[in-house]
Chains A and B, each alone.
Chain A
């Protein structure tokens, strides 16, 4: 009986791992200002163009408001403003990356979306110890791709890290 249960548990664990395996090491990259950022693909549910945003009172400036995502009302965050980068008018390349963390959907407004990249763990480095700028608080690591470096963001921190 116990043996069976253990086996079942092990199977379940394996399954979970497998599922994550398929998406592990994959990152969606996007542009803010001149820098390229990446976010773990498992958080991303879709990418949409810029929408009409309804402002919500009493929010920090980087929370632009809410949008209607096929009948679901989700908040959107301007990542530029989150990073303390100067605001810039939205254009037809501006995208909203919808991410899902713990069943909470949030749209991230980014300048433009690039691609999905595979960055093996071996190519990841811890965040630099000294780095100025607001966004350093949200960095999970640095990913080497060829001779370029992408800044990998910690989605959780991006959403929930308190303002300094």
Chain B
């Protein structure tokens, strides 16, 4: 790349130099740490990946600025690391030393670059390092261990099954492992299903715990890290359930079942001669940890996986350890990277990812929560949405499909759109799958609205991929997407046209403290209900109402029977204006797919409110999640819909 404007280049170079220095500061301690590990013969695959990515980004930036010497050095270093990364060679302290010398040398060049704006003059020194790297590389690739230090292959995942050294004995061990795992996992599944019916049983929880515990032990013994980790997380959650530290709710059970399924698939994959991988491991692990009330496992500080170029340079605009509130460039969420799309090309799909609105500023918390969902959406678009090139050609579409990722600000919200020009969602296929999975009672297929059909794909356990591919189709993704977005008080909407494509529109409030609320009046009090939990509101007809034998009022809404909660009774406030349900308004609220109806006198109106905590002095107030100051200065309590529904559930008033 040539620069007509020297000043522009000077600026960029300055930027680059400070950027690279930062990267080096980050990578050096990791290399040194790796040396320590290397002497024990094992290196954390993630660390190696991080180092690799840093060199990779460095190379990208350098080549962009036409710094040939740095480019070629980093290229060689990257090649060397790649060999270790792929577990094809041993890593020992000699290589670590060489890598450190490489980074030192890069630093030296940087000093010169800063002054002269190019990296000329160091070609000879560079040549030396490069040849050293190359020699090491060929040595390493040939399997020569360099010096006599004992080193085991530093595989990311020790995979005895694929490593020939383990030979026949390894194979027999693995066969045993597979057979035993099947039994154990079957037992775990049976127990979990029983536990779902009888959530209070510590005995069942204990049995499931023991099953996963044995599985974990076996997987650990075989060195199948991912299987071990997932089993470990599931085990921890079950332990808490068994000890009564955690409620045995349906969500936990369904995640545990997902985990067991994933483990089973991992074992099956192993049997077929594949690696013992767990598809969707990170999500599963994260959710199990969250359910168990633990901090999600720390991901290795993710070095941006970029395709090189400027992206990484811009990335540094985000100050490290920036305070949460500080708006940060959303560059980060665009680490929905091209590497994943490369995979799709292997599967014979041609995809172009178009990103717009990178400059949109987003709260850092949002970025953290949104980046995984975006990866999922894009993967899904590529995997499910986009047709194979032949099919596209037949349909008269351009062979290369487009996936748009766009972000913008609009009225206090961030809008993020993921859009593909693929085949669109298939109504009948989704319905068929939903009925199959028991998400929809059979016979309702005709009456259900399109929008409701699309929303089915967010149900836990839903997946329409006819076959599970390497990228997606495990059914963990979409419900995780929805949950993450809802946690940010956001909404996700789907628009789709058969044959033309699908669009997912995500809207997230800019600050988490502002929500859309519906102000309702009960007697003289005004309460606020978050719009996000309101399904609908209506004035009931007397034909819709019944009273259950226990006195609970029930309203029939389109075939569903929902309990009615009279807000004034709940809050023990003076009686409302209306006593008969037919006179007031019923509001259907939902949390976690459970619904109930709130009875209020009237709807005052919808408004944006700033959530404030109630005073510490009052402590936790039942049914209230906070308060808001209304336009006239009065305080309105915000209804805690989730808490309300949970307490109804505890009283057995929800089916």
Contact = CB atoms under 8 A, between A and B. Distances in A.
Interface in B597-655: 612-618, 621-624, 627, 629, 633-637
Contacts of A105: 615
Interface stretch (A58-66, A82-90, A113-121): A58-66
Interface in B558-577: 570-573
A54 B626 CA distance: 13
A135 to B, nearest CB: 20
A74 B615 contact: yes
Contacts of B614: 56, 66, 73, 75
A66 B627 contact: yes
B621 A67 contact: no
A75 B612 CA distance: 13
B635 A106 contact: no
A125 interface: no
B149 interface: no
Given A73-B629, A106-B615, A54 B621 contact: no
Given A54-B525, A57-B571, A75 B617 contact: yes
Contact of B634 (A52, A63, A75): A52
A162 interface: no
B525 A56 contact: no
A73 B636 CA distance: 10
Contacts of B637: 54, 56-57
A63 B615 CA distance: 12
Contacts of A58: 571-572, 621-622
A48 interface: no
Interface majority SS on A: helix, strand, loop or mixed? strand
Interface residues of A, number: 21
Contact of B573 (A57, A63, A66): A57
Contacts of A45: none
Interface residues of B, number: 24
A100 to B, nearest CB: 11
A57 B617 contact: no
Nearest to A72: B612
A54 B617 contact: no
A104 interface: yes
Contacts of B615: 66, 73-75, 104-106
B573 A55 contact: yes
B618 A56 contact: yes
A104 B627 contact: no
A57 B572 contact: yes
Contact of A73 (B525, B571, B635): B635
Nearest to A75: B615
Contacts of A104: 615-617
A71 B621 contact: no
Q: Which of A58, A75, A106 has most chain B Cβ within 10 Å?
A: A58
Nearest to B628: A73
A61 to B, nearest CB: 11
A159 B573 contact: no
Nearest to A106: B617
Contact of B618 (A52, A59, A72): A59
A68 interface: yes
A56 to B, nearest CB: 6
B635 A68 contact: yes
Q: Which of B526, B612, B623 has most chain A Cβ within 10 Å?
A: B612
17 contacts: A52-B634, A54-B637, A55-B573, A57-B621, A57-B622, A57-B623, A58-B572, A58-B622, A63-B618, A65-B635, A66-B615, A68-B629, A73-B612, A74-B615, A104-B615, A106-B615, A106-B617
Given A55-B573, A56-B621, A73-B615, 11 more contacts: A54-B525, A56-B618, A58-B572, A59-B621, A66-B627, A68-B634, A68-B635, A73-B627, A104-B616, A105-B615, A106-B617
